[in-house]
Amino acid sequence: MKKSASTSQKIVIKIGASLLTGGRTTIVAENLERLVRLVAGCYRDGRKVILVTSGAVASGLEVLGFKRRPTLLSELQAAAAAGQNILMQAYASEFAKHGLKCAQILITREDFHDRQRYLNARSTINTLLHHGVIPVINENDAVSTEEIKFGDNDTLSARVAAAVEADGLLILTDIDGLYDYFDIKSGARKGLIKEVSAITPEIEKKACGTDKDSCIGGMSTKIAAARIATNAGVPVILANGLKDDLKISFNPSSFHDDCDGTRFPVVNFVGSKKHWIGFEAEVKGRVIVDDGAKAALTAKGCSLLAPGVKGVEGDFKAGQVVDICDLKGLCFARGKVNFSSTELNETKQKKAKKEVVHRDDLAILD
């Protein structure tokens, strides 16, 4: 990978199963060698690299004798359990050829829901980087039911990038980026989009799923990941991991037509704490507010006061995160409440002008 004039100091690189397997049910050694060589090149350029990788399930399919990705949850978990060790051994062997060390970190969705576990994960990653070790992160698919059914490593990579406040997220795939037109069955494509200034419904319509046997997700999960990362202040590049010499830049001033991939610049940076509230914290209930309160929160950046609360749903405690919805049911914000659901109902009835959610603990959603 060619080094730009504005080398990012800390980047997250996401490698999908399709790159490792070439669409098959086993990892192709040549593909792994190429991708590790790319990561090692970033490291030599002075970047601190965090690797988020798929491939555990694909690595375990052959061990269990599967010709196709199974659908039963127990079989998926067994494949992940059998394959994770194989995957990490392969990475450790390849990185050693470049004089590099790596460490495995397995993460579940719950590690992001809990604020302390979220901060602990960030601390572990940063400590490994400080000691010159490349963190290799994957979902803990062998034990996490929800992660296998709904998770994907595109989203995980965005969450990791946000947690460590990375300078950039590079999502590697087997095509050059986001296209204006792409047919998943034939592979026909045209109109590579070099930069996405805003993730609009039109952009989302250009995304598609995947029909490869060894992986899940597709362009739609990459668009969703880009939204999460850019809202957290992390620019994203979607590029072709099959290229030996990628040219990328996360700095707007050095991004040009010769750069590879599709770039998603930072548009609406909300900060690390508000990102956690808006995207990572487990939501425990809902607070319904009137139109005046909605306008004060979204347009004026005010705190939420009790008089604006019209309804309380769910059973939550003070300090937990809730959805904040308008009278039509649209959830437009999330916040950490200062009262339990019981206390809030009592406060609402008394019409006391107490602060329900401080503006510093409030995240406005797109």
State whether 50 and 180 are in the same domain: yes
Confidence band, pLDDT 50/70/90 cuts, at residue 360 = very high
Is the full-model pTM beyond 0.95? no
Q: Tell me whether residue 278 is in a domain.
A: no
State whether 255 and 300 are in the same domain: no
Q: Is the pLDDT of residue 326 over 90?
A: yes
State whether 198 and 96 are in the same domain: yes
E strand map for 70-122: 101-107
Last residue within a domain, chosen from 224, 244, 273:
273
State whether 241 and 299 are in the same domain: no
Find all residues with CB under 8 Å of 342, minimum gap 6, and list them: none
Range with lowest mean pLDDT among 242-251, 322-331, 336-345:
242-251
Confidence band, pLDDT 50/70/90 cuts, at residue 147 = very low
The Cα 63–Cα 74 span in angstroms is: 15
Q: Record the tokens describing residue 152, joined without a space.
A: 């994907």
In the β-sheet with 331-336, what is the strand arrangement from edge to edge? 309-313, 283-289, 321-325, 331-336, 362-364
Sequence-distant contacts of 253-259: CB under 8 A, at least 24 apart = 253/6, 254/4, 254/5, 254/6, 255/195, 257/194, 259/194
Closest alpha carbon to 362 in 290, 271, 284, 282 = 271
Identify the residue with better confidence: 217 or 271. 271
State whether 148 and 94 are in the same domain: yes
Range with lowest mean pLDDT among 44-48, 170-174, 181-185, 336-340:
181-185
State whether 289 and 226 are in the same domain: no
Closest alpha carbon to 51 in 129, 136, 164, 125 = 136
Q: Tell me whether residue 3 is in a domain.
A: no
Confidence band, pLDDT 50/70/90 cuts, at residue 217 = low
Q: Tell me whether residue 303 is in a domain.
A: yes
Identify the residue with better confidence: 357 or 65. 357
Identify the residue with better confidence: 359 or 114. 359
The Cα 302–Cα 346 span in angstroms is: 22
Number of domains in the chain: 2
The Cα 351–Cα 70 span in angstroms is: 56
State whether 22 and 119 are in the same domain: yes
Closest alpha carbon to 235 in 273, 203, 202, 261 = 261
**Could you report the per-residue pLDDT of 149-201, keeping only the tens digit for each?**
446 889 999 999 999 999 999 999 888 889 887 776 776 778 889 989 888 88
Category of 194 on φ-ψ map: left (φ > 0), alpha (ψ -120 to 50) or beta: alpha
State whether 216 and 360 are in the same domain: no
Greatest mean pLDDT among 93-102, 180-189, 243-252? 93-102
pLDDT at 144: 67
Range with lowest mean pLDDT among 12-26, 173-187, 228-242:
173-187
Q: Taking CA 292 as the corner, what is the angle to CA 286 and CA 295, rounded to the nearest 5 degrees?
A: 85
Q: Tell me whether residue 72 is in a domain.
A: yes
pLDDT at 271: 73
* Structural domain span for residue 146: 10-273
What does the mean pLDDT of the chain come to? 86
Q: Tell me whether residue 2 is in a domain.
A: no
Residues 308 and 276: beta-carbon distance below 8 Å: no
pLDDT at 319: 94
The CATH number given to whatever domain includes residue 62 is 3.40.1160.10
Range with lowest mean pLDDT among 111-125, 143-157, 248-262:
143-157
pLDDT at 124: 96
Q: Tell me whether residue 198 is in a domain.
A: yes
Q: Taking CA 16 as the corner, what is the angle to CA 41 and CA 217, rounded to the nearest 5 degrees?
A: 150
User: Phi then psi for 205, rounded to 5 degrees?
Assistant: -70, -20
State whether 137 and 86 are in the same domain: yes
Last residue within a domain, chosen from 205, 240, 273:
273
Q: Pairing state of beta strands 168-173 and 236-240?
A: parallel
**pLDDT above 90 as % of the chain:** 49
**Could you report the per-residue pLDDT of 267-297, keeping only the tens digit for each?**
766 777 888 898 888 899 999 999 999 999 9
How far from 354 is each of 51, 127, 134, 260, CA to CA, in Å?
A: 45, 41, 48, 52
State whether 301 and 269 are in the same domain: no
The Cα 221–Cα 173 span in angstroms is: 12
**pLDDT above 70 as % of the chain:** 89
How far from 137 is each of 12, 55, 293, CA to CA, in Å?
A: 10, 11, 41
Q: Tell me whether residue 20 is in a domain.
A: yes
Q: Is the pLDDT of residue 351 over 80?
A: no
Angle between helices 153-163 and 115-130 (to 10 degrees): 80
Q: Is the pLDDT of residue 142 over 70?
A: yes
Q: CA Rg, the chain, in Å?
A: 22
Q: Tell me whether residue 224 is in a domain.
A: yes
pLDDT at 212: 57
Residues 210 and 216: beta-carbon distance below 8 Å: yes
pLDDT at 148: 42
Last residue within a domain, chosen from 273, 298, 314:
273
The CATH number given to whatever domain includes residue 322 is 2.30.130.10
State whether 132 and 258 are in the same domain: yes
Greatest mean pLDDT among 25-29, 42-46, 102-106, 202-206? 102-106
State whether 205 and 255 are in the same domain: yes
